[in-house]
Amino acid sequence: MEIIKEGPSASRPLILDGKNYSYWKSRMIFFIKTLDGKAWRALIGGYEPPMVTVNGVSVPKPEIDWTDAEEQASVGNARAINAIFNGVNLNMFKLINSCTTAKEA
């Protein structure tokens, strides 16, 4: 199945095909910035899931116990990584599909 490589869109990012990186990067920066500030902060600052210490061991905090700020940071990361996943072709996606943070992708 061929991915449609369309021109500029406010709702869908440009597809990175391996030949247009500098153009794609500048377009993707502003695409992610327009999603919201949390998505952009997740990309430039990274995202670490909330952790708690149980018996001296750091473990992921259950999502049900997340604060609003922790939830919003997670949503920002999800939006940014979704934009990146949707902005690459299938070959590039295969390289990054196991990434869990936008900065990692």
pLDDT digits (tens, 9 = 90+) for 1-41: 455 555 566 678 889 988 889 999 999 999 999 999 999 99
83 contacts 59 by C-beta, under 8 angstroms: no
Paired tokens of 56: 């001296």
Q: How far apart are CA 88 and CA 25, in angstroms?
A: 11
* Domain limits, the chain: 21-87
pLDDT value of position 7: 54
pLDDT in tens, 46-93: 999 999 999 999 999 999 999 999 999 999 999 999 999 999 999 999
pLDDT at res. 14: 84
**Predicted pLDDT of residue 32:** 94
Q: Which residue has the tokens 């902060």?
A: 41
Q: What is the mean pLDDT of the chain?
A: 90
